[in-house]
Amino acid sequence: MSVKHAIRRGLELGRSVFQLGLLKSGGRFAAKLRADRFRVGPSARTVQPQAFLPSRYRYFRTSLAGLAAQLQSAGFRRRFGGGSPRNRAVFLAFGLGVGLIEQQLEDDSRSAATCDEIQAVFRKKRFQSPFKPCAAGYKLEDYVIGNQVGKGSNAVVYEAAARFAPQDSNSKCSLVQLGEDEEETARSPTCCSLRTFPMVIKMIWNLGAGSSSEAILKSMSQELVPAGPLALKLEKEEITLDGHFGVLPKRVSAHPNVIRVHRAFTADVPLLPGAEEEYPAVLPARLNPAGLGNNRTLFLVMKNYPSTLRQYLEVSTPGCRQGSLMVLQLLEGVDHLCRQGVAHRDLKSDNVLLEFDSDGCPRLVITDFGCCLSQSDSNLQLPFNSMWVNRGGNASLMAPEVATAVPGCGVVIDYSKADAWAVGAISYEIFGQPNPFYRAVGLESRKYQEKQLPPLPSGVSADVQLVIRFLLRRSPSKRPSARVAANMLHLSLWGQKALANHDSVGMRKLADWLLCQSAVVLLKGCGGPSGNMVEAELQRSFLSNLDLEDLRTAVGFLLYGREQQQQQACILSV
């Protein structure tokens, strides 16, 4: 709003006051307004704006909670009702200030309303899992199990196909063809294997949970956090826990960057291919007399992905834009978990799966929730009163506030930004560099200095480098959340025009960009014939989680980082 317009509003307000003869003492009037401000509980009658204010100013009487009344009271006490130039200037300044405040509040109100409307539209179009509901698949015998595809410290994963699923008549490869056409298998084993075995079965090793279904589900409940609504049979939704019926722990909703468990059931441990050679010690005594495992354990059925992020990065280096999209996907997945009160606590490239969309862009999916923190209060704070409290998985990628925590009375570890820190470390791997917190570089999260962080490749955009540097700040209070960091990347990738003016980014300009972005995403639909384009999913995720304060914080981080970069460039040039 122009200064001329603000002055005109101030003069109009002053003229209204003078015309109604309100030059007498305002003590009683101001006291009444202050009483309205601090009144607690419902009032016997609704307090209406004072009639002497023009209609455009009645907004302040109710929304500024007495601010204008306090200014008026101060003015009356100073007896500025006279006609001296000084008093007129004071009164004019009052009107000018009110006009400026009004414009700022109007802009903020409109921007917040725009964000809420966009969020409501895109939350109606939530991500849906591609697997169709089915009433079968709750027994191990319902699946054909293939080769081993992965093994970790607490589980082994095998490729699988459902016996109850009809074969796709258009598929180029089936179970029968796989056995007959060895030449095709040798030429493209991964592609053929995925068509034949579209799912995997994860068998958790049971070393101390007992062999009852209730004990297994209770002990391994963290693995069920990404489970779908039909993953367990209805009678298993309530299980007997210590003599009482308890509901299984929280489960996160579907998200394109978080694994989905489609079936979860307990069954007797079978002798699968390679079991006696690779993990004999965890087998039950009936399969290996020297084995330490229990007879039954938990099995999870999930989608089969071509590789892990680590395997992909060993043979490929994504381009700078693809790498930015990959980092953004990890942040979107972490933010989705944080919003639902879950901290992964073991985020590393081995625990991120990868596939490709119809345009060949990698899609990343966070998996392996065995170490996650999932509490009923959703505050992501863990009391750390003993050294026996489990702080999470991979010690190399523990955030500084987790790695340096010392157990004691009243000590609490806050995990709200710990996974975001791990994304910053993994980003080095995505851009073709060694992870600085692995042995190759040798930094330790508990004592590194931010200036010791190695530089990223020069081809990585300045904004992306800023985001990664901010994510790896030691102090969580100076570190952006996953949502804010994701917003920074969204603005960098698609909102450069909204950030063109470095000195002042108006919320109205950002709101206009958000409306244009929403229209573009809605017109593009799901992003292609197969509906699986990564960029479309990311833009929908961003728009469905719009929040004015988070967006404002992201802009602040970006502008501050750019200013710091410019200052450093000036120093180096000198």
Tokens of 310: 């680590």
Q: What does the longest C-alpha to C-alpha distance in the chain come to?
A: 103
Q: Which residues make Cβ contacts (< 8 Å) with residue 103, sequence separation at least 6?
A: 1, 6
Q: In Å, what is the CA distance from 448 to each residue of 176, 235, 444, 461?
A: 56, 50, 6, 24
Query: How many alpha carbons fall within 13 Å on the CB side of residue 433?
Result: 20
Cα–Cα distance for residue pair 155/62, rounded to 1 Å = 60
Q: What angle do CA 305, 310, 313 make, to 5 degrees?
A: 100
Closest residue by Cα to residue 334 from 310, 357, 320, 351 = 351
Tokens of 381: 């704070």
Tokens of 419: 């996974």
- Helices in 39-164 by DSSP H: which ranges? 58-63, 67-77, 85-123
- Residues 106, 505: contact at Cβ < 8 Å? no
Burial of 45 (0-12, 13-18, 19+ CB in 10 A): exposed
Count other C-beta atoms under 10 Å from residue 173's C-beta. 18
**Tokens 């592609």 belong to residue:** 191
Q: Which residues make Cβ contacts (< 8 Å) with residue 395, sequence separation at least 6?
A: 403
- Residues 367, 333: contact at Cβ < 8 Å? no
Closest residue by Cα to residue 471 from 479, 463, 460 = 479
Beta-strand (E) ranges in 409-455? 412-414
3-state helix/strand/coil string of 397-436: HCCHHHHCCCCCCCCEEECCCHHHHHHHHHHHHHCCCCCC
Give backbone dihedrals phi and psi of 381, rounded to 5 degrees, phi first. Answer: -120, 130
Three-state DSSP state, 201: strand
- Residues 201, 144: contact at Cβ < 8 Å? no
Q: Check 335, 346, 419, 550 and give the catalytic one.
A: 346
Cα–Cα distance for residue pair 149/189, rounded to 1 Å = 13
**Tokens 């591609």 belong to residue:** 130
Q: Measured between alpha carbons, how far apart are the two ends of the chain, in Å?
A: 40
Tokens of 192: 């053929």
Regarding beta strands 307-308 and 342-343, do their DSSP bridges make them parallel or antiparallel, or are they unpaired?
A: unpaired
- Helices in 431-547 by DSSP H: which ranges? 462-471, 482-494, 507-524, 534-544
Q: Which residues make Cβ contacts (< 8 Å) with residue 238, sequence separation at least 6?
A: 245, 246, 247, 248
Q: Is residue 359 among the annotated active site residues?
A: no
Closest residue by Cα to residue 533 from 305, 361, 317 = 361
> What residues does 373 pair with on adjacent strands?
343
Q: Which helix (H) or strand (E) holds 355?
A: strand 352-356
Residues labelled catalytic: 346
